[in-house]
Amino acid sequence: MIQLDLNNAASFLSQDWLTSRQDRLEKARVMLEEGNGPGGDFTGWVHLPRDYDKVEFARIQKAADKICTDSQALVVVGIGGSYLGARAVVELLRSPNYNLKKKDTPDIYFVGNGLSTDALIETIELVKDRDFSVNVISKSGTTTEPAVAFRIFKSLLEEKYGKEEARRRIYATTDAHKGALKGLADKEGYEEFVVPDAIGGRFSVLTAVGLLPIAVAGIDLNALMGGAAEAMEALAVPGLDNPAWQYAAARHALYESGKSTELLVGYEPSFRFFAEWWKQLYGESEGKEGKGLFPASVEFTADLHSMGQYIQQGQRIMFESVVSFQNSLGSYTIPNDPENVDGLNFLSGKPLSFVAEQAMRGTILAHMDGGVPNIIIKADRRDERTVGQLIYFFEYACGLSGYLLEVNPFDQPGVEAYKKNMYALLGKPGFEEQKAALEARLNG
């Protein structure tokens, strides 16, 4: 189970940092468990590892098997929570180089998460001469970035295979009852999976939103959900030894002491997109009403050679939450150099994991001495069970944290501002007046 080490943050916290928040944490726990707090209609993820739709789960695995049989590539169309969770899990459990590795599963390409012409053309070039399928993920079907991308890849499929075969290669993950994509999927006969009404996008990785691409990568869904279920049972138990309570309270205490930025630190390159998922989870949940920690991430030791100077001696506005996997999946021994050109023969015969561990320990101490508190989040290893635990841990702690901040952790009203401006500038019908006003500002 996920564990916390707060020894390197203790000197930055008051003696009662946890006990003084005990009543509020219990209130937050009850609101999450009973779904009766702000945004309670969107707490379906809280008991999801126990209550998920077993019939749909089986259909997801069956669809993944079909894709693995008839496709060399899967194009996943989605933005924000509709792709970050899936990519996070695939890269963390398989590899950031997943598409380059020899394997029995299809390559996976994520599109519709931006508007770069060059990136889109490159993906088209990579899949157009191969057998491929498309998983389009959107609750509404009208969000500009994925809607444009789906138009393009739907057209490519129909041109390549004909309309009937293309229909069998398109999988729509969307609203159960309404929306443009739901209507199109019903009309065309695409296989459909559900974006649950009670689960917002950033909490949806353990629904069909994330699970279909994850299954296509050959990841064991039962083990992933099993790990999440273990975390659900453990974190529902109230008490000051609950790691989610500790993490939420420590973040809140450091925030109230003047820290404004949380750096999520990983020591594995494969952790990069998990950190991107985490940034959306906490940024959208807490960043409102002029409140909230700014979520950022770094990859050590690489970023110690770019961001390390600022972390050590820049503005004292941050703390670090370090995700440490306790057991490597493999081992490698550092060889001896007879000439000792680099002066590192004192490391000969030692496992590389030993060097990495000492680098992490030394970095934590240096940053703590520089005024940067460090929270250590300990996970066992990069396997399905542990990653399921880690996903649920961060989700549950996020809900607690939002309620400690006294915001609704489950809405995102600010996300709509850029969309309205973009629609106006693109000339969407109904936005004519706003278009003129925006263009006047831009040209003024």
Catalytic residues: 284, 305, 419
Are 207 and 48 spatial neighbours (Cβ–Cβ below 8 Å)? yes
Tokens of 240: 């000051």
HSE (side-chain half, CA atoms, 13 Å) at 221: 25
Residue 361 CA, distance from chain mean position: 26
Rg (Cα) of the chain, in Å, rounded? Answer: 23
Dihedral sign of CA atoms 403, 407, 408, 409 in order: negative
246 membership: H or E segment, kind and range: helix 243-256
β-strands 170-174, 107-111: how paired?
Answer: unpaired
Tokens of 90: 């695939």
Whether omega before 69 lies within 30 degrees of 0, making that bond cis, reads no
Distance CA 327, CA 330 (A): 9
Distance CA 177, CA 335 (A): 61
392-to-136, 324, 387, 389, 437 alpha-carbon distances in Å: 25, 16, 9, 5, 44
Dihedral sign of CA atoms 402, 201, 92, 114 in order: negative
Are 77 and 108 spatial neighbours (Cβ–Cβ below 8 Å)? no
**Residue linked to tokens 């496709």:** 71
* Residues sharing a CB contact under 8 Å with residue 76, sequence separation 6 or more, in sequence order: 83, 86, 87, 108, 109, 110, 111, 134, 135, 137, 213
User: Where are the strands (E) in 300-440, listed by range?
Assistant: 318-327, 374-381
